[in-house]
Structure 1
């Protein structure tokens, strides 16, 4: 495949990481950038990087105008986790006949949570002959696509358990804030109730992708409210020292039953007192499969890589809204 021209839609932290990584690839060329932040509109995209560099790509808030001026095959969309919020942006891209690869977690497997929006996006993508896919490290890979792939040598699968264990103090500051670092237990609960803190977004999307991939009919799937992790000692974090009795992170968990039995369990554990990081997938069946990635996959690096490596698959795919389990496996792009 010849080099793919890409537009960055969303120039925040993740958009900048995507930009930096794409610049190191021979397979891609950044031809445009979109954002609504008045502080960066009109600036060269390269000015947001460290070290700064001139790319000749000006950030604009006028997405349709940009789409009409430049020749691109794909948009990397990194604006929000929620499908309703990102829908207008997806529509802009599709009407310009641009393939969309997005980090929107709810787009990774939207048919269960948002069947109406799923049909709307799929119909629009088919109408304009392009593809839409939501992906990332999870949902999109570690907690759904990879577990499904690991079942290939199994004659039977009885259950799947996935656990991500990460030291949040080694992650960027917005992530540490997102998991409640430094809050009192009362403030943590208030922010959860007001949806200021959401915990990990996408566990149910991952469960539904696994279940549908294996042909399992679920009795129910439940995502539990995030549970705060309370430190018993003074703990260093990117947000300062957290005193005993306060929150250093959280645990997000979701489970699914089929025929009365637990068949899928997903655990996302992120706090500043994690001693050993890892990603673990346990498949019970014939045979049993146990995979453990020591050190874990860094969330930002993994999301950037999976997103970029999915671009060629999206460009090559048949038109419509697709999900990762239905695409050929993404591999590292040059």
Structure 2
């Protein structure tokens, strides 16, 4: 059965989602929402960078899209700087009976223990009233630190520590709000960025730490532990998102740690550079400019390095593609799921079925 899908936003992830929906044999794009008035009335194919029209015109009319009665919304709008508003949007979607796969807010990837029950309850209640499901995922938080590490642990005899790492050069990552406001790149070293405000890392990535713990049936100490290492620029640096003057924040290493009786058991960490030659003592990808590395310490020790890049060779572009495709390819499974919040622990195996080049 072909599922009717609305794409919600056409930004850095959304335009790739449109391409993915169009390419998927089980999905039909029936609507596109945009926040930019200049995009209203433009064909989805052109907004996605395709060389053809798809016959679907973008709109900022929510009611018109709801009236289409889509089976699902692929929601890829920016949420990092509007979490409360985004949760209200998602709640309204499921209450209207529309299933949702979304790239954020990331704390909904596994909200239990991250968000108070008073915030989770209304979302779940709305989903049950509407008979719809909501699944938040992507690549990170998402596949690289939920499905991938938990699948690896199925090979373990004893587990001492699960460590999920992102190692990446963000110099070609185009997200000015994320780079400048959230991370604080280009800001004075003593600047308190949103991301490094105590507790925010645990909101953003604590969900993956807690989901791994749930999958391994361990109870973590409270609160989660946050560790941060900041590195200043040794020269002026230009990235596609922000300019980084010498002496300002240019590289960041952080950890979000789940401990049991004071011992690290589940660790999420990021090594984020804004120039390839920074921090030579930090880990580097085995190949390319960005990777996800999973290490399972125990018996046996296991390590998997996941790298990706687009056809143009850039890993930041392909990072947007894999985020979009994790959502697009999960649509059918989420539509089939029981109403409510759906995590990676609830879904069956999601594959790229139907996408092999013909």
Q: TM (normalized to structure 2)?
A: 0.82
Of residues 267, 270, 284, the one that matches 2:269 is 267
Which piece of structure 1 moves more, 102-111 or 117-126? Answer: 117-126
1:85 aligned onto 2:85: yes
Mapped partners of 1:98, 1:240: distance in 2? 37
Deviation at 1:32? Answer: 0.7
Q: Which moved more, 1:232-241 or 1:51-60?
A: 232-241
Give the structure 1 partner of residue 72 of structure 2: 74
Alignment correspondent of 1:36:
35
Spell out, residue by residue over 1:115-171, the C-alpha distance to the aligned partner (whole angstroms, 9 max, x if none): 222222222222222211110101121122211111011133221111110011132
- State whether residues 9 and 76 of structure 1, in contact with CA within 8 Å, keep that contact through their aligned partners in structure 2: yes
- C-alpha change, 1:228 and 1:199, in structure 2 (3 Å) is farther
Matched residue SS, 1:326: coil
CA contact (8 A) 2:202 2:224 kept: no
Q: Deviation per CA, 1:267-292, whole angstroms, max 9, x where unpaired?
A: 11221234543321111223222212
Which residue of structure 2 aligns with residue 106 of structure 1? 107
* Of 132, 137, 148, the match for 1:130: 132
CA 1:256–1:199 in structure 2 vs 1: closer, same or farther (change >3 Å)?
closer
Which residue in the other structure is 1:305 paired with? 325
Q: What is the match of residue 216 of structure 1?
A: 218
The residue that corresponds to 1:185 in the other structure is: 189
More off after superposition, 176-185 vs 152-161: 176-185
Within 5 Å, give how 1:1-334 maps onto structure 2.
2-51=1-50, 53-68=52-67, 70-79=68-77, 80-81=79-80, 83-104=83-104, 105-114=106-115, 115-174=117-176, 176-177=179-180, 178-186=182-190, 189-192=191-194, 202-222=204-224, 224=226, 227-239=229-241, 242-274=244-276, 276-277=284-285, 278-294=291-307, 298-333=318-353, 334=355
Measured in 2, the distance between the counterparts of 1:324 and 1:253 equals 22
- Corresponding position of 2:280: none
Q: CA deviation at 1:109?
A: 0.7
Tell me the TM-score normalised to structure 1 length.
Answer: 0.87
Is this contact kept in 2: 1:179–1:199, CA < 8 A? Answer: no
| Structure 1: gaps (5+ residues) | none
Distance in 2 between residues matched to 1:322 and 1:193, nearest whole Å? 26
Deviations 1:193-251 (A, max 9, x none): 897xx779731011110111111111124353754332324545325774542332322
Q: Is the 8 A contact 2:114 2:203 kept in 1?
A: no
Q: Cα distance, 1:75 vs. partner? A: 0.4
Verify the 8 A CA contact 2:15 2:49 in the aligned structure 1.
Answer: no
CA distances 1:23-55 after superposition (whole Å, capped 9, x unpaired): 233232110112333332333333423256432
SS of residue matched to 1:324: coil
Equivalenced residue count is 328
- State the Cα RMSD in Å: 2.7
Using the alignment, how far apart are the partners of 2:58 and 2:201 within structure 1?
31
C-alpha distance in 2 between matches for 1:130 and 1:239: 37
Task: Report the Cα distance in structure 2 between the residues aligned to 1:230 and 1:218, rounded to whole angstroms.
Answer: 33
